[in-house]
Structure 1
C-alpha cells in the first residue's frame, strides 16, 4: 500500500491549525500515520478477534446469529492474509468447517434461516454479506484443506440465493439488502436470475429526497441502504446507485454530533429514541473517498477512526473488507475537512441543525400526523436539543393536560427573520346527538376515531354536530442570539391549562441552582433565576425559571396512559411549569 505523502501530511496538518476547523481535523489526524501502519492495525485486530473465536468455538454452536457470518469470514481472512500470524494455520480449518456445517444444517429447504424473523429472506441476506466476502477471498486460495469449507459454503450460498431470488421482504430497506446479497452471490456464482430479481426490485425506485433521506428517515437503516447501494453499484456494475449514497452520507455528516453520535429524532423507525453512531457508515465514506477522489469523505473516514468504539465495532472485521474489495487497499486522497460551522434547515423533515464547532443545536418539528405509535411513523415529542462539548441537553419537551392530549408535536417549522417557529393548534369538541338519518336502532355504529383523533369508539363522530369547542394554540420560537438560544413559549386559548416544559440532561453531570424534587428520581425544578448543568469541563446555563404547579407525571397523555406506557427516559430532568395563558422566554447557552 502507498504511504500518505509528506505533502499530504503537511497540507493536513496545516489545515488543522485553522480555528474554524478544529477540533475536527485535530482529532481526525490523531493516531493516523501511514496506510501501511493502518493496515498492520487491521491485520492485528483480525488476529485478536480470531484468537477469541478459537476459544469460543471450542463449545458447541447452538444459535444462528448474524455474527456467524463474520466469524467465518474473519477466520478465512486470517488464514489468507500473508502478514497474519494465522496465515495458512491448519488449526483454523476445523473451526471454519464447524461454522459452515452448522449453517447448512440450520438452513430451511427454501434456503432461508430462522433468526430475527422466521424463514426470513432479508435476515438471511444480512448473514450472506460476510459469507460471500469469505467466498470471494477463498476463490484464490488453493489450499486443499479448505475443500470441504468451499463446497459447503457454495452449497449454502447458492441455496440461499434461491430463497432471496423468490422470497419477499417487510420494509423498504429489505429490498436493497436482498438485492445487494444477490449481487454478491452473482459475483461468486453468476446466474441471470439473480440480476433479473435485482432489477425487478430496483425498478420500484430507490427513493432519496432532496435532503438525502431515504423512505424510513432512519440512521440505523440508512447505514444498511448505503452499504447495499455501494455493493450493487460496484458489482453489477451500476455506478449511478452511488449518487443516492453520496447524498445520504452528506446528510449523515450534518446530523453528526462532534462525538460521532447521530441525530435520530426525525427517524420513522425505532432509532428515533436511541442514538446511533457514525461508525456504522465508515465503509461507505472510505470506499467513496477513494472511488470519487473525495477529500472531505477521506477526512470523515479518518475522523471516524478516532472515535471510541472504532476498534471493537469496525476494525475487528475490516480485514475481510480489505481482502474482498481491492479498492480499499488504495490510499485515501489527501483529506480536506468538511465544515464544522454550519446552519442547515432540512425542510423535507422539518429538522434544523446548527453547529458552531463543538456546540450544536437541533430543532425538530417533522412528525407524521395523525400521531400514531408504530414503527414506520415519526412521533417523537423531542423538539429541541443542545450540546456544548461534554454538556448535553438530550431533549426538551412540552406537555399540557388539555383533554389529556399530552406532548406538543409541532406541525412543521417555519423560518422568518432569523427565527425558527414551531406551532400546533388543537381543537377539542363535545359531541351532540346524531341527526335522525344516521341513527341505528341497534346502536352498533362503526368503530372510528373522534374528529380530533384523541380516542376511538362506536359513536359515528363524523356525523355528529359539535359544540363547546375548546382550543389550545401553542407556539415556540427559537432564535440564536449572542451565542445562546432564546426559546419563547406561547400557549393560549382556554385558560387554566397546566403547561409543563421538560429538560432532560445526560446522566452523569451535575446541576446547580435548582430545587430537588422527591416525586420522581433525578427530578428538579427551576423556580426562578438561572440554573447550570455541568459535565466534565463544559457547562450549559439556562433560565430564568418558573414553577407554578407540580403536575409532572402522565405527560404522555391518553395515547400512552391508557396502555400504561411512558416516554420518560434516563437522565437528569428539570421542569418549568405554568398555567395558560402562558408566555415565557428561556435562554440556553
Structure 2
C-alpha cells in the first residue's frame, strides 16, 4: 500500500479526533454545527468548517480509517452540513468573516471542495450518508446564481471560480455554467514561460491556481490548460530550500516572508504524474507528500483526492532524482518592460478596486542550490538577496534610502559573464509639483475663500527640478563566501541603510555590534557572526559602517519575528560586504 496514502489516513484520523471536540453543539447558537477554528469563530469558508468536513467525510467512507461508518462522526457531519446551509446567504454566497462579505470567490473555494465531497459520498454505497449528501448538493445548487454572476478580487480567484463552475456543471449539467467559465478563460492565463503566476505566491496561491486549472481542464475538455500547470510544477522544484521551506522571499501575497512547505502541492503533483506518466512529477509528489500533517483547504484535500480519483495511484511509476545542485534564472526572457510600457494605453490609470496591479509579475529571480546551501537573488522585492546554509537563515538583505524615501526595489538583473556577478540596478526619481494652470482649475478653486487641497486636479501639476539617484548591487559567488558590492552615483548626503535580516533562532556576536532594541543591531565596524545551535553552523558578515546616526529611515519597514543587523551608509559610496560560510 502507498506509504503516503497510509500517512494521509493516519494523519486524517488524528485530525478528525482533534476537531470533533470543537464542534458547536448549542442549538441556540447561530454557529450550531460549525467547527471552531483558529479565530475562535466557526466559519463556512474553505479553510473553516468545510475543511474539517473534508477530513470527516474522507474518514467516514474509507475502510482503512478507524472512523469508517462511525455513527457519531456521521451525526457530526450532518450537523456541519446544516451549519453550511444556515450560514449561506439568500444569494447563495458565504462570507469569509472579518472581510469579504457575500463573496463569490470565497464561495467558489467552498464549491470546489464540497462538489468533490458530494461525489465521494454519493459514490459510497451506504444509505445513512445519503441525507448529508443531499444537504450538500442543495448548498451547491443554491450557489449557482452567484457563480454565474459573481466577480473576483485577485488573479487566482478567476481560476477558482472557473473550477467551481466546471464542477457544478459536472453535477447539474447546466450549459450556462460552461459559458460563464469560458468568459473567465477568455481573459487568457497569467503565467510566465518559466511558470510563475501573477501573484508570485509560492507558499499559497500557486497551488491554488494549479489545482483549479487541473479540474477546469479535465471537466471542460481543455487539455491545453494543463501546460500552465506543468510549467509551475516544474518551476517549483527549484524554489525549495534544503530544509523543505518554500522560497517566499518575494511573494506578492500574504505568504511573503513566512514559512511554508510543499504539502499543498502534493495532490496536483500526484494527479499530473498519473496523467502524464511523469517520473519527475511522481518524485515531487512523494517529496510534497512527506510534509503532509493534516487536511489542507477543502478544495485541495489530499486524501479526498486519492479516494475520489483512483487514477492518481502511481505505485509502479519510476521516480527521477530531485535537483540539489543548480543555478536557475527564472523569467530572464519574460518581456516585463514591454508589458509595463503598455499600461498607460490600457486606460485604467493604475486603479483597480479591492485588488492590486501586481506590477512585479515576471520579474527575474535567480535560484542557486549547492546541496545544503540555498541562495535567492530577487528583483522588484523588498529584499534582493537571501541565503540558507544548513540551519542558518539569512532571510534577506535590503537597502533603504532617504532619497525616495524607503526600501529600494531593484528593477533589472543582468549577469556579468566575466565575473559571474549578478548585477541589480535601480533608478529613483523625485521632483516637485508646480501650480495647476488656471484653465485646468475647477470652478471652486481660486474663486472662493476655501479651496480644499483634495479637490485640486493634481494630475495636471507639471514636474519641476526632477532629481534622480542611481544604485547598483553586484552579487558575486566565491568558494565558501558571497560578496555584495553596493554603490551609488555621485549624489551627496543621502542617508542609506543596508539591513541583514536573520532568523530569530540564532545568536549574534561581534566586537563592534551595538544592540539598539527590538532585535536590531548596528554593525559599526568589523564583522558580525551569526550562529545556530551553539555555533555549529554559522555565517560571518563584514564589514560594518556607521556613517550617520539615523536608526530607522522614513518609510522603511522590518518584518516581525526576526533579528536585524544594520549598516549605516552616506552617499556617495562604493562598499563591498562579504558573507562567509563557516
TM-score (norm 2): 0.82
Which residue in 2 is equivalent to 1:304?
A: 288
SS of alignment partner, residue 152 of structure 1 = helix
Cα distance in 2 for partners of 1:157, 1:434 equals 55
Asked whether the 8 Å contact 1:298–1:332 carries over to 2, the reply is no
Structure 2 unaligned segments of length 5 or more: list them: 26-31, 35-41, 333-361, 448-452
Which residue in 2 is equivalent to 1:321?
A: 305
Asked whether the 8 Å contact 2:51–2:296 carries over to 1, the reply is no
Asked whether the 8 Å contact 2:12–2:295 carries over to 1, the reply is no
Which among 36, 40, 47 is matched to residue 6 of structure 2? 40
Given the alignment of the two structures, is residue 65 of structure 1 paired with residue 64 of structure 2, yes or no? no
Higher normalized helix content (fraction of residues): 1
Given the alignment of the two structures, is residue 357 of structure 1 paired with residue 371 of structure 2, yes or no? yes
Which residue in 2 is equivalent to 1:23?
A: none
Asked whether the 8 Å contact 1:45–1:315 carries over to 2, the reply is no
Given the alignment of the two structures, is residue 163 of structure 1 paired with residue 130 of structure 2, yes or no? no
- Following superposition, the deviation at residue 470 of structure 1 comes to 4.4
Alignment of 1:6-405 (within 5 A): 35=2, 37-57=3-23, 59=25, 60-61=32-33, 63-66=42-45, 67-116=48-97, 117-219=100-202, 220-307=204-291, 310-313=292-295, 317-331=301-315, 333-346=317-330, 347=332, 348-366=362-380, 380-402=381-403, 405=405
Asked whether the 8 Å contact 1:524–1:574 carries over to 2, the reply is yes
Cα distance in 2 for partners of 1:131, 1:478 equals 49
Residues 166-195 of structure 1 deviation map (CA, whole Å, 9 limit, x = unaligned): 322222211111111222222233222222
- CA change 1:332–1:357 in 2 (3 A) is farther
Cα distance in 1 for partners of 2:462, 2:167 equals 59
Cα distance in 1 for partners of 2:145, 2:445 equals 54
- Following superposition, the deviation at residue 424 of structure 1 comes to 2.0
SS of alignment partner, residue 554 of structure 1 = coil
Cα distance in 2 for partners of 1:438, 1:189 equals 57
Cα distance in 2 for partners of 1:139, 1:84 equals 18
Cα distance in 1 for partners of 2:226, 2:74 equals 37
Asked whether the 8 Å contact 1:396–1:504 carries over to 2, the reply is yes
Calculate the aligned-residue CA RMSD, in Å.
2.9
Residues 310-366 of structure 1 deviation map (CA, whole Å, 9 limit, x = unaligned): 223559953322111112234262221232111122223121111111112211123
TM-score (norm 1): 0.81
Which residue in 2 is equivalent to 1:424?
A: 426
- CA change 1:138–1:465 in 2 (3 A) is closer
SS of alignment partner, residue 119 of structure 1 = coil
Asked whether the 8 Å contact 1:420–1:477 carries over to 2, the reply is yes
Residues 482-521 of structure 1 deviation map (CA, whole Å, 9 limit, x = unaligned): 2321111112332222221111111110122254434332
Structure 1 unaligned segments of length 5 or more: list them: 2-34, 367-379, 446-454, 558-565
- CA change 1:429–1:148 in 2 (3 A) is closer
Residues 342-391 of structure 1 deviation map (CA, whole Å, 9 limit, x = unaligned): 1122223121111111112211123xxxxxxxxxxxxx321111111110
Report how many residues are paired: 521
SS of alignment partner, residue 424 of structure 1 = strand
Cα distance in 2 for partners of 1:44, 1:203 equals 42
Which residue in 2 is equivalent to 1:377?
A: none
Cα distance in 1 for partners of 2:66, 2:442 equals 81
Given the alignment of the two structures, is residue 540 of structure 1 paired with residue 528 of structure 2, yes or no? no
- CA change 1:297–1:440 in 2 (3 A) is closer
Residues 408-463 of structure 1 deviation map (CA, whole Å, 9 limit, x = unaligned): 22122122222211122334345677788878997569xxxxxxxxx999585865
SS of alignment partner, residue 66 of structure 2 = coil
Asked whether the 8 Å contact 2:401–2:553 carries over to 1, the reply is no
Which residue in 2 is equivalent to 1:407?
A: 407
- Following superposition, the deviation at residue 287 of structure 1 comes to 1.5
Which among 580, 586, 589 is matched to residue 577 of structure 2? 586
Asked whether the 8 Å contact 1:500–1:575 carries over to 2, the reply is yes
- CA change 1:437–1:365 in 2 (3 A) is same
Which residue in 2 is equivalent to 1:490?
A: 487
Cα distance in 1 for partners of 2:567, 2:16 equals 53
SS of alignment partner, residue 128 of structure 1 = helix
Cα distance in 1 for partners of 2:297, 2:146 equals 31
Cα distance in 2 for partners of 1:434, 1:120 equals 42
Asked whether the 8 Å contact 1:398–1:499 carries over to 2, the reply is yes
- CA change 1:492–1:195 in 2 (3 A) is same
Cα distance in 2 for partners of 1:407, 1:345 equals 24
Cα distance in 2 for partners of 1:300, 1:312 equals 19
- CA change 1:520–1:554 in 2 (3 A) is farther
Cα distance in 2 for partners of 1:461, 1:267 equals 31
Asked whether the 8 Å contact 1:474–1:492 carries over to 2, the reply is yes
Cα distance in 1 for partners of 2:460, 2:316 equals 62
Cα distance in 2 for partners of 1:349, 1:55 equals 46
Asked whether the 8 Å contact 1:68–1:127 carries over to 2, the reply is no
- Following superposition, the deviation at residue 112 of structure 1 comes to 1.2
Alignment of 1:443-482 (within 5 A): 458=456, 464=462, 466-467=464-465, 470-482=467-479
- CA change 1:529–1:429 in 2 (3 A) is same
- CA change 1:586–1:441 in 2 (3 A) is same
Asked whether the 8 Å contact 1:79–1:92 carries over to 2, the reply is yes
Asked whether the 8 Å contact 1:514–1:524 carries over to 2, the reply is no
